[in-house]
């Protein structure tokens, strides 16, 4: 009675094939990441030393360390986050909690999604025109970070909006029915429950900000600078640009050097991400602030 | 908003008897008219049940009293609603003030994902001013008083810091009533407050509603006729957006005046 028919056998085989296909694709996705990491560690590992991290490049950037670039990237990421997170979260709050659902908000949403698709070199040119020239910030950390912030805003807005939408409507109704204003509802119920999702957006943004080269190359980052930036109106070196320069523009760079820079860049991004993931876990545990 | 023509003729006499009064209330969701010429007087301190088949407008009626309907954006209203003698659709009505006076309990218990204690104190935090809020000791007193009032104190007094969402559904619903009380509302709107509960939980919440009678004006929407019979003193029967009959509960169930009411009560439709 319960013997498999021909049809059952065929279904089972088809099932197996699809499963195998999906599994293969997943492995293929993970494989490049592992290969990249392994290559970086093997080839770049020997370059890593305290001197490499805390000294400035010397001898036409073929020797010495990467300290100014490391500090520069931290500056760029920090200033970009300071600009884009408040702006993006505020915009997302407006769009999901206040704005009525009409054609204007739909156009705004569409514009935000399209902004995410703009190539980074176009953002770079926009940054030159707007921040370097029009606002007169010159090529500086401020101009570069503003450009990076504009570029990553869609990520922050979209992930924030998603996490706001994930807060159950019942919580909001409970608040409203007790006479809470929208801001009280946001402050006491919506934000505390959405904050971990918002941090996910920030994590994505950190990775992208730290790694971008084109936007900062035209707006504030330079090939070589023998001193550290003192403020947001200074120019700076950056890891991503430094990597580009020593692997393509400078002759006679020992092979382990670019790999070392790449390894440091990835490690830094991973550490920043780990920090915000830790923060997220902490906030999730509290759910109240 | 169109003013009712009859306004003025009998407006002053019922000031102190009616908690809620609607005059010629019509309400549309977009093109769909959900309420038609609803004239209703809800007496102070009385439990009034609104019954009727689903889609008859009973929840809509409830939700227009505290104006929570307006969030939908495409709601249009003519006529008026007075709460304690004041038109709530007048310009200059503060929604937080209105909703402080008119508390609401939802179909699905919706405590906030914070501690039991903080749920009770939430409305105080919303409406109290920062510097003259009650002190620590007073707050604990309020928590105890409100939880006792809803017959919940004994089962939660040892875990006030526990998350409210960990309580059983019936306890959650009681908590949702308790959290309205610190700001001293006079009217409680209940939108099918027991429909998510099991029979035991239903009995517990019904007991509580009976307990609160007289102190608060309670307007409860239910599709459960037996429940209307058990908990209410007056009963309103609605059909297709209109009020068909409004009378004492015992009269309505013993001798309904309208044929439609009788048919519904006897289960011929619904």
Dump pLDDT digits (tens) for B207-227. 999 989 889 999 999 988 889
Residue in A176, A179, A288 closest to B114 by CB:
A288
For residues A138 and A23, state if they share a domain: no
Q: Which residue of A has its CA nearest to B112?
A: A171
Q: What are the tokens at B91?
A: 């310009």
Give the model's confidence band at B5: pLDDT under 50 very low, under 70 low, under 90 confident, else very high: very low
| Overall size of chain A counted in residues | 289
pLDDT tens-place string over residues B10-26: 444 444 488 999 999 99
For residues A39 and A176, state if they share a domain: no
Residue in A101, A170, A178 closest to B126 by CB:
A178
Tell me what percent of the residues of chain A surpass a pLDDT of 90: 39
**B97 vs A: CB within 8 A:** yes
| CA distance between the termini of chain B | 33
For residues A34 and A138, state if they share a domain: no
Q: How far is A103 from chain B (nearest CA, A)?
A: 14
Helix, strand or coil, per DSSP, at residue B239? strand
Asked whether residue B71 carries a pLDDT value surpassing 90, the answer given is no
| List of chain A residues whose C-beta atoms are within 8 Å of the C-beta of residue B118 | 288
- Which has the closest alpha carbon to A260: A242, A278, A274, A277? A242
Q: What are the tokens at B57?
A: 């407008």
How many folded domains does chain A comprise? 2
Q: Which residue of B has its CA nearest to A179?
A: B96
- The rounded distance, in Å, linking the Cα atoms of A190 and A97 is 9
Asked, for residue A123, whether it belongs to a domain, the answer is yes
| List of chain B residues whose C-beta atoms are within 8 Å of the C-beta of residue A175 | 112, 126
Q: From the candidates B64, B88, B112, B164, which should be mutated to test the interface with A, based on the most A CB atoms within 10 A?
A: B112
Mean pLDDT of the region A182-204: 88
B177 and B196 in contact (C-beta within 8 Å)?
A: no
Across the interface, whether the CB atoms of B96 and A180 are under 8 A apart is answered yes
Give the model's confidence band at B134: pLDDT under 50 very low, under 70 low, under 90 confident, else very high: low
Q: From the candidates B59, B75, B96, which should be mutated to test the interface with A, based on the most A CB atoms within 10 A?
A: B96
| List of chain B residues whose C-beta atoms are within 8 Å of the C-beta of residue A190 | none
Q: Identify the pLDDT of residue B119.
A: 92
Residue with tokens 């009385």: B46
Give the model's confidence band at B9: pLDDT under 50 very low, under 70 low, under 90 confident, else very high: very low
The residue ranges of every structural domain in chain B are: 18-265
Mean pLDDT of the region A167-181: 90
Q: Identify the pLDDT of residue B110.
A: 92
Asked, for residue A272, whether it belongs to a domain, the answer is yes
For residues A128 and A251, state if they share a domain: yes
For residues A126 and A232, state if they share a domain: yes
| List of chain B residues whose C-beta atoms are within 8 Å of the C-beta of residue A287 | 113-114
Across the interface, whether the CB atoms of B179 and A178 are under 8 A apart is answered yes
Out of A209-213, A262-266, B68-72, least confident range: B68-72
| Containing structural domain, residue A230 | 51-286
Q: Which residue has the higher pLDDT, B132 or B22?
A: B22
Give the model's confidence band at B101: pLDDT under 50 very low, under 70 low, under 90 confident, else very high: very high
Asked whether residue A144 carries a pLDDT value surpassing 90, the answer given is yes
For residues A120 and A30, state if they share a domain: no
Q: From the candidates B83, B100, B102, B104, which should be mutated to test the interface with A, based on the most A CB atoms within 10 A?
A: B104
For residues A157 and A28, state if they share a domain: no
Q: Identify the pLDDT of residue B10.
A: 42
Asked, for residue A1, whether it belongs to a domain, the answer is no
Distance of CA B104 to the CA centre of its chain: 5
- A-facing residues of B in 76-95 (CB < 8 A) are 95
- Three-state DSSP string of chain B: CCCCCCCCCCCCCCCCCEEEEEEEEEEEECCEEEEEEEEEEEECCCEEEEECCCCCCHHHHHHHHCCHHHHHCCEEEEEEEEECCEECCCCCCCHHHHHHHEEEECCCCCCCCCEHHHHHHHHHHHHCCCCCCCCHHHHHHHHHHHHHHCCCHHHHCCCCCCEHHHCCHHHHHHHHHHCCHHHCCCEEEEECCCCCCCHHHHHHHHHHHHHHECCEEEEEECCCHHHHHHHCCEEEEEECCEEEEEEEHHHHHHCCCCHHHHHHHCCCCC
pLDDT tens-place string over residues B237-269: 999 999 999 999 999 998 889 888 988 888 877
| List of chain A residues whose C-beta atoms are within 8 Å of the C-beta of residue B179 | 178
pLDDT tens-place string over residues A68-92: 888 889 999 999 999 999 999 999 9
Q: What are the tokens at B135?
A: 């002190």
Across the interface, whether the CB atoms of A180 and B98 are under 8 A apart is answered no
Q: Identify the pLDDT of residue A208.
A: 86
For residues A71 and A135, state if they share a domain: yes
Q: Which residue has the higher pLDDT, A11 or B7?
A: A11
- Which has the closest alpha carbon to B270: B231, B226, B230? B226
pLDDT tens-place string over residues A226-265: 778 888 888 888 888 989 988 888 888 888 888 999 999 9
For residues A160 and A20, state if they share a domain: no
Q: Give the list of residues 6+ apart from residue A126 with CB closer than 8 angstroms, or none.
A: A147, A150
Asked whether residue B131 carries a pLDDT value surpassing 80, the answer given is no
| List of chain A residues whose C-beta atoms are within 8 Å of the C-beta of residue B183 | 178-179
| List of chain B residues whose C-beta atoms are within 8 Å of the C-beta of residue A180 | 96, 126
Return mean pLDDT, chain A. 88
Q: Is residue B78 within a helix (H) or strand (E), and if so which, with residue range?
A: strand B75-83
Q: Identify the pLDDT of residue A61.
A: 72
- Which has the closest alpha carbon to A255: A67, A62, A115? A62
Mean pLDDT of the region B163-179: 91
Across the interface, whether the CB atoms of A174 and B99 are under 8 A apart is answered no
Return mean pLDDT, chain B. 86
CB–CB contacts below 8 A, A to B: 58
Across the interface, whether the CB atoms of B122 and A188 are under 8 A apart is answered yes
Q: Identify the pLDDT of residue A251.
A: 81
Across the interface, whether the CB atoms of B127 and A193 are under 8 A apart is answered no
Give the model's confidence band at B7: pLDDT under 50 very low, under 70 low, under 90 confident, else very high: very low
Residue with tokens 């405590």: B111
CB crowding A204-223: b at 16 or more within 10 Å, else e: bbbbbbbebbbbbbbbbbbe
For residues A24 and A94, state if they share a domain: no
Q: Identify the pLDDT of residue B8.
A: 41
How much is the CA Rg of chain A, to the nearest whole Å? 24
Mean pLDDT of the region A175-194: 90
pLDDT tens-place string over residues A95-132: 998 888 889 989 998 998 888 888 989 999 999 999 99
**B110 vs A: CB within 8 A:** yes
CB count in 10 Å sphere of residue B129: 6
- At A71, which CATH number? 1.10.3720.10
| List of chain A residues whose C-beta atoms are within 8 Å of the C-beta of residue B98 | 179
CATH no., domain B18-265: 3.40.50.300
Tell me what percent of the residues of chain A surpass a pLDDT of 70: 98
Across the interface, whether the CB atoms of B106 and A193 are under 8 A apart is answered no
**B252 vs A: CB within 8 A:** no
Across the interface, whether the CB atoms of B112 and A180 are under 8 A apart is answered no
**B67 vs A: CB within 8 A:** no
- The rounded distance, in Å, linking the Cα atoms of B49 and B81 is 18
Distance of CA B130 to the CA centre of its chain: 29
């Amino acid at each position: 009675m319960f013997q498999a028919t021909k049809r059952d056998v065929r279904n089972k085989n088809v099932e197996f094939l699809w499963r195998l296909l999906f599994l293969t694709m997943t492995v293929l996705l993970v494989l490049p990441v592992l290969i990249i990491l392994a290559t970086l560690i093997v080839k770049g590992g020997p370059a890593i030393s305290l001197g490499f991290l805390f000294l400035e490049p010397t001898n036409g950037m073929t020797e010495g360390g990467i300290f100014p670039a490391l500090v520069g990237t931290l500056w760029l990421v920090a200033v970009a986050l300071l600009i884009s997170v408040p702006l993006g979260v505020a915009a997302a709050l407006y769009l999901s909690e206040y704005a009525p659902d009409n054609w204007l908000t739909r156009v705004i949403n569409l514009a935000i999604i399209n902004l995410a698709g703009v190539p980074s070199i176009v953002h770079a040119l926009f940054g030159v025109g707007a921040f370097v020239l029009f606002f007169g910030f010159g090529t500086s950390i401020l101009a570069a970070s503003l450009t990076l912030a504009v570029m990553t805003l869609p990520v922050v807005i979209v992930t924030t909006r998603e996490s706001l939408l994930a807060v159950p409507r019942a919580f909001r109704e409970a608040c409203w029915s007790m006479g809470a204003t929208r801001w009280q509802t946001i402050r006491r119920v919506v934000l505390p429950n959405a904050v971990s999702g918002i941090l996910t957006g920030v994590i994505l943004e950190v990775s992208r900000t730290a790694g971008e080269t084109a936007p900062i190359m035209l707006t504030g980052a330079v090939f070589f600078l023998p001193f550290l930036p003192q403020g947001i109106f200074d120019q700076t070196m950056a890891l991503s640009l430094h990597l580009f320069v020593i692997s393509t523009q400078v002759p006679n760079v020992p092979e382990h050097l670019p790999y070392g820079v790449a390894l440091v860049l990835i490690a830094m991004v991973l550490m920043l991400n780990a920090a915000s993931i830790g923060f997220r876990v902490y906030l999730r545990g509290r759910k109240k602030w | 908003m169109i003013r009712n023509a009859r306004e003025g003729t009998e407006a002053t006499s019922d000031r102190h008897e009616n908690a809620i009064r609607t005059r010629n209330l019509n309400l549309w969701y977009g093109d769909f008219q959900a309420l038609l010429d609803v004239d209703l007087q809800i007496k102070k301190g009385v439990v009034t049940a609104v019954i009727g088949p689903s889609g008859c407008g009973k929840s809509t009626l409830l939700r227009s009293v505290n104006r929570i309907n307006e969030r939908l954006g495409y709601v249009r209203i003519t006529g008026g609603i007075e709460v304690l003698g004041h038109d709530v659709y007048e310009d200059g009505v503060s929604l937080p003030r209105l909703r402080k006076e008119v508390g609401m309990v939802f179909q699905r218990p919706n405590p906030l994902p914070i501690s039991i204690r903080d749920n009770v104190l939430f409305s105080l935090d919303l409406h109290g001013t920062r510097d003259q809020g009650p002190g620590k000791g007073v707050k604990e007193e309020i928590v105890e008083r409100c939880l006792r009032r809803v017959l919940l104190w004994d089962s939660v007094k040892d875990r006030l810091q526990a998350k409210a969402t960990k309580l059983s559904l019936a306890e959650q619903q009681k908590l949702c009533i308790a959290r309205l009380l610190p700001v001293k509302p006079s009217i409680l709107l209940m939108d099918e407050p027991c429909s998510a509960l099991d029979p035991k939980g239903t009995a517990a919440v019904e007991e509580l509603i009976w307990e609160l009678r007289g102190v608060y004006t309670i307007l409860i929407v239910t599709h459960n006729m037996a429940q209307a019979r058990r908990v209410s003193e007056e009963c309103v029967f609605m059909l297709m957006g209109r009020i068909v009959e409004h009378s004492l509960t015992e009269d309505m169930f013993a001798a309904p005046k309208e044929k439609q009411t009788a048919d519904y009560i006897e289960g011929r439709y619904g």
